[in-house]
Structure 1
Amino acid sequence: MPAFLTLELVVIATSFVDSHCHLDRLNLDAHDGDFAAMMAATAQARISHMLCIGVDLETFPQVQALAEQYDNVFASVGVHPLYKESREPVVEELIERGAHPKVVAIGETGLDYFYAKEEREWQQRYFIAHIQAARETGLPLVVHTRGAKEDTLALLREHGRGEVRGVLHCFTEDLDMARQAIELGFYISISGIVTFRNAQALRETVRQLPLERLLIETDSPWLAPVPFRGKPNEPRYVVQVAECVAALQGISVDALAAATTNNFFSLFNKAQA
């Protein structure tokens, strides 16, 4: 087979996974309000699978419904650390909802002291409930952490008891935190922030992270990568995140796509490729 045909086949075969997005909250103006059109554009951009993240218990049914409707969409169940108005997560409820065949993770949960540093008590209480549910179900934990390095790691160690794995999503903390999380069995997920002009420190961190523990995400509808910054984000833009991370890692986009896709299904092993 001619070399140029081989290359073309490789490119066509390459696909990406958006490991963290909020499909139930997307701005669909670019698609005339048509969710199916957005999904078609996502497929055309070679995004093979998506993990739709729950942020509160009240809207979780919509997240679950999307996962039920689309074979290539999975769901998580949890309460975001800035969603205090949500009903408090109870371990038993998280376990029950996590038993659904399309629910592959517990979270989004964690600690955010950047925006809510005075509300640590309830954030920690909610976080512990999620850690316990992840330990009991064996499902990976999706962790949001900002400005809370010491407490995040300490609670994972104390309540995870070495039995909880997961991902620090939309990672913006330092290399030391990433390495400690990896030692605990966690992956590090990189969002469009890595493309921002003021994210040089994050780019230096990404250069030093092991490829076998990296994931990519959009966190859409927020944090659209360059050149779409300032516009509504959506899963198809995970390609731009992949391009930036691949350049930082010194590998091809194809290799980055293959590695992060493999990492996704290794971590979220309840999901089916």
Structure 2
Amino acid sequence: MSVTELQLIDTHCHLDLPVFDPDRAAVLAAAHAIGVETLVVPAIEQAGWSRVLAQRATATAARPACRVALGLHPLYLPPLAEAEATLAALQSLLAAERPVAIGEIGLDFHRGDADRAYQLALFEAQLVLAREARLPVLLHVRKAHEEVLAALARIGGVGGIAHAFSGSLQQAARYLDRGFRLGFGGMLTFARSTRLRRLARALPVDALVLETDAPDMTVAAHRGERNSPAYLDQVLAALAEVRDESPQMLAAHTTANARAVLAL
């Protein structure tokens, strides 16, 4: 099977960002050429919702399909005074546009000055919207896996993808128990990512989905450069290496996993 016969899904790619404006069509064509059939474009803030929706398109002979997720990233939340109105606008847009997921949402406690209570309040509010709309979520989790897992338990009834997963094997099992898949991207291609590579090897294949997070978190071969969905085959190759399994088998499984969790 040649690389062009692979069917891959990039479950997390910020194709809407202005850094892609000069050559977005070429990026999509390059992604299609290495087997990307679908990519999911998540929003990070209200100002970007219309920009994300503008990327939505069906597949053609020269480009993959683009699907979208709408939400509020924990580092790009609206001011407190605007929170209620922003959540109401999100709820209306979910009904009108019916994205494949709510995202990118979650908790980011990496910075010491993070307003944890406010992040948690808006995260849980978006989980409620997801449960009511019967949509999965795309999770951003940094230094907050226990808090995210606790929130998921409180709200209940929500699955999805834990993007750029880097938690423990025990935390991974708890996400899987809640119907989540775990996203692996460019960091897997770095030999120094020993802990992440051990985790990717230990997990059941049904847990795994592929992502790039382009333009960020690029692969080792393009260190210091803009990331691209056209590098997803390099993530697949790294996953095949660490698991000692065929790229073709892993492509089939990760694509099936993404289709199942996102109802693609």
TM-score (norm 2): 0.91
Aligned match of 2:83:
88
- Partner residue, 2:129: 133
**Pair 1:183-2:177 in alignment:** yes
1:136–1:102 distance in 2 versus 1, CA, 3 Å: closer
1:18 aligns with 10
Q: Which residue of 2 is the match for residue 49 of structure 1? A: 38
CA distance in 1, matches of 2:78, 2:132: 26
Q: Identity over the aligned pairs, expressed in percent?
A: 32
* Equivalences for residues 1-273 of structure 1 within 5 A: 7=1, 11-25=3-17, 27-28=19-20, 33-68=22-57, 72-85=65-78, 88=83, 90-100=86-96, 103-115=99-111, 118-159=114-155, 161=156, 163-269=157-263, 271=264
For residues 134-171 of structure 1, give each alpha carbon's deviation from its aligned partner in whole angstroms, at most 9, with x where no partner exists.
Answer: 10011101111111121110001001x2x111110011
1:11-48 deviations in whole A, cap 9, x for unaligned?
5421211000100116349xxx2321221111112111
- Separation in 1 of the partners of 2:98 and 2:112? 31
Q: CA RMSD in A?
A: 2.0
Letter in 1 for 2:47: E
CA distance in 1, matches of 2:159, 2:113: 26
Cα offset, 1:95, TM superposition:
3.0
Structure 1 Cα separation of the partners of residues 96 and 262 of structure 2: 14
* Deviation at residue 197 of structure 1 after TM alignment: 3.6
TM-score (norm 1): 0.88
Cα distance in 2 for residues equivalent to 1:197 and 1:247:
11
**Equivalents in 1 of 2:167, 2:12: separation in Å?**
17
Instruction: In structure 2, give the amino acid aligned to 1:60.
Output: W
Measure the CA separation in 2 of the matches of 1:187 and 1:18. Answer: 13
Deviation at 1:214? Answer: 0.6
Report Cα offsets for 1:201-227 as digits up to 9, x if no partner: 111111111111210100000011111
Deviations 1:40-97 (A, max 9, x none): 1111121111000100111110100111476700000001111134753755433322
C-alpha separation in 2, matches of 1:23 and 1:241: 18
* Cα distance in 2, alignment partners of residues 249 and 28 from structure 1: 33
Structure 2 CA distance for partners of 1:257 and 1:116, relative to 1, 3 Å: farther
Q: Gaps spanning 5+ residues in structure 2: where?
A: none
Q: Distance in 2 between matches of 1:16 and 1:116?
A: 37
Size of the alignment, in residue pairs? 257
Unmatched tracts of structure 1, length 5 or more:
1-6
